[in-house]
Structure 1
Amino acid sequence: MIVCPNCNHSNPDGAQTCEACYTPLPATATCPNCGATVQTDASFCGQCGFNLKASRATEEIFAGNIGTDMGAEIPELETPEPLVEPQRLVISAQSGAETSSQSYLAETPTSQTESPESTQPDSAATSGSFKTQLQQQTIKLLHVQTNTSVELPQNLAVIHIGKPNDRVPPDIDVSGFPNSEIVSRIHADIHVEGDAYYIEDVGSSNGTYINRRPLQPGDRHRLRAGDRIALGKGDLVTFLFQIS
């Protein structure tokens, strides 16, 4: 069947004009692989996918239509020189070491030969795998009156601040600081939630002050670097919240 390029009407094989619109139909030929009818200008057979252009080129060569002299000598191709010099792989293992080192030595001309010291691998490369150290933040309370730093305990969700007692032992004991008598035994808590730190007064007698403002019992204040925490009135026991 020949499909009209103008109206897509299917015409019988051998037709030269479309039966529906009278448009001249393209010339057809037979696929040399499967025998199906194909257009003469087609590149591939629609039935079996055979490469019709390659087949036509082969036929033209043997028919002498493209001016190819079959008796002409074909010049030999020159082998190009390699762009990169070949390399020699040298693997050296150190006895008694946990890891072995590998060094790659390139073949170089004698005029550019380097000294033995230059071919030695870097000591850092043979010292084993590098360890990546993750820096962790250190949270501290700086006592203003004595310039003493108190590091907050790690891995605690709640850090109790106060003085020794039988009910809730303090994680940060302020009994050794001057004027600690104004600090309650159970004075304040610091809650750790991810990277955030919140301070809460838990019913102290003289209150907790953040940046010289009273913190109401039950309220929580998110601490930021530089916040001033006063335990009790008069700003006598004061800490600065620090992150380093």
Structure 2
Amino acid sequence: MSEQPTENVIPPSSLPTPPELDFEAPAPPMPPEASQPPMPPAAPPMPPVAPPIAFTPPAPEAPPAPPEPIISAAPQPTTTPIPEQPKPMPVGATQLQLPVARLLHERSNSNLDLPTNLNLVHIGKPNDRIPPDIDVSGFPDSDVVSRVHADIRVEPDGYYIEDTGSANGTYVNNQPLRPGDRYRLRAGDRISLGKEDKVGFIFHPG
């Protein structure tokens, strides 16, 4: 057999060693995750529980004080001043203090002053039971006048006359007075002791 020509063969030991490469093998693929149902939302945290509080009954309340009364100044009424009236003569007054009331006897034109120290004046004639303070026994026709005939009373508001149960009555301005009834005298009143106006007087308060 014919030999074939030998090629230039380089022995393996004389060949350069290729450089080592830092190569990581790829990670094997992860198997696909199995589908899982969604997780329910987490429950909110529970609030802390406060410790129990001991119950204390409330103290009894004091009764409310009554309201104080409201005092308001009352309005002062406006009044028209009343002119002062002449006052009757008080007991014990003298002629220098107040004018003296009197009875004017018309037929004789004489005056009989009422006593200033008495508040009850008896009119009549002398007797043993009630002596008169004004004696009319000396006047004409005095026989129609009883011994206890009439009284004149002095009051704070004026003079009053009343019949005390006379036999022939007492008249004021020709009007008879019933025994016990009092009539307030005014200036100029005509007083008749007995009927027919035989013993008459005109009253003057002074």
Q: Please give the TM-score of this superposition, normalised by the length of structure 1.
A: 0.45
Q: Which runs of 4+ in 1 moved over 2 A?
A: none
Any unmatched runs of 5+ in structure 2?
1-95
Distance 1:237 1:214 in 2: 14
Deviation at 1:183, TM superposition (A): 0.1
The residue aligned with 2:134 is 172
The residue aligned with 1:229 is 191
Q: Are 1:154 and 2:92 matched, yes or no?
A: no
Deviation at 1:145, TM superposition (A): 1.1
Distance 2:170 2:106 in 1: 15
Distance 1:230 1:200 in 2: 12
**136, 151, 159: which is aligned to 2:98?**
136
Percent of paired sites with the same residue: 65
Conserved 8 A contact 2:170-2:194: yes
Q: Which residue identity lines up with residue 142 of structure 1 in the other structure?
A: L
Deviation at 1:157, TM superposition (A): 1.4
Give aligned pairs, total.
112
Change (3 A) 1:236 1:181: same
**174, 177, 187: which is aligned to 2:149?**
187
Partner-residue secondary structure (3-state), 1:181: helix
Structure having the larger proportion of residues in helix: 1
Deviations 1:101-132 (A, max 9, x none): xxxxxxxxxxxxxxxxxxxxxxxxxxxxxxxx
Distance 1:241 1:213 in 2: 15
Deviation at 1:243, TM superposition (A): 2.5
The residue aligned with 1:215 is 177
Q: Which residue identity lines up with residue 101 of structure 2 in the other structure?
A: I
Distance 2:138 2:102 in 1: 17
Deviation at 1:194, TM superposition (A): 2.0
Q: Which residue identity lines up with residue 192 of structure 1 in the other structure?
A: V
CA RMSD of aligned residues (A): 1.5
Q: Which residue identity lines up with residue 223 of structure 1 in the other structure?
A: L
**107, 111, 117: which is aligned to 1:145?**
107
Partner-residue secondary structure (3-state), 2:116: coil
Distance 1:202 1:135 in 2: 31
Partner-residue secondary structure (3-state), 1:165: coil
The residue aligned with 1:77 is none
Give the greater-gyration-radius structure (CA).
2
The residue aligned with 2:168 is 206
Deviation at 1:135, TM superposition (A): 4.4
Q: Please give the TM-score of this superposition, normalised by the length of structure 2.
A: 0.53
Highest relative contact order (Cα 8 Å, sep 6+), 1 or 2? Answer: 2
Q: Which residue identity lines up with residue 234 of structure 1 in the other structure?
A: E
Partner-residue secondary structure (3-state), 1:234: helix
Q: Which residue identity lines up with residue 145 of structure 2 in the other structure?
A: V
Distance 2:192 2:119 in 1: 22
Deviation at 1:195, TM superposition (A): 4.5
Conserved 8 A contact 2:192-2:201: yes
The residue aligned with 1:13 is none
Change (3 A) 1:137 1:195: farther
Structure having the larger proportion of residues in strand: 1
Distance 1:195 1:138 in 2: 15
